[in-house]
Amino acid sequence: MIKAFSSPKTPSVRPTPRADSFDPVVASACGSVLRAWRVERGIAQDALALLAGVDRSYYGKLERGERQPSLTVLLKCASAFGQSAASLVEAIERAIGRAREVI
């Protein structure tokens, strides 16, 4: 008689879902603030991207809420507007609050 080899049971390990920091509400709020600030100052999108040292197409995606900027990009954008990063973040926080009230 041949005995089948049985391995000790190991607990089922499920891979944890990949963390994704993209938040569409945050991305949209950030984009709306960047666009509003740029339009208020009468600056073309490509000119602002150049001032900030950010790729033009990437900046367009930021304004459309398709991308969420890193801290470095936020700092560059704030500088291009002649504003502090804190004032930019505060404006984005207000926009997020308004967006979440609607939801």
Nearest of 89, 90, 38 to residue 59 by alpha carbon: 38
pLDDT tens digits, residue range 6-28? 555 655 666 666 667 899 999 99
* Distance separating alpha carbons of residues 78 and 97, to the nearest angstrom: 20
pLDDT in the model for residue 23 = 94
Alpha-carbon span 43 to 37, nearest angstrom: 9
Percent of the chain predicted with pLDDT > 90: 75
Say whether pLDDT at 46 is over 80: yes
Which region among 3-12, 47-56, 74-83 has the lowest average model confidence (pLDDT)? 3-12
Taking the domains of the chain in order of start, what are their residue ranges?
A: 24-102
Q: For residue 73, what are its two tokens?
A: 């990009």
Domain 24-102 classified CATH 1.10.260.40?
Answer: yes
pLDDT at position 20: 77
Task: Write out the two tokens for 91.
Answer: 């404006």
Q: What is the pLDDT of residue 102?
A: 79
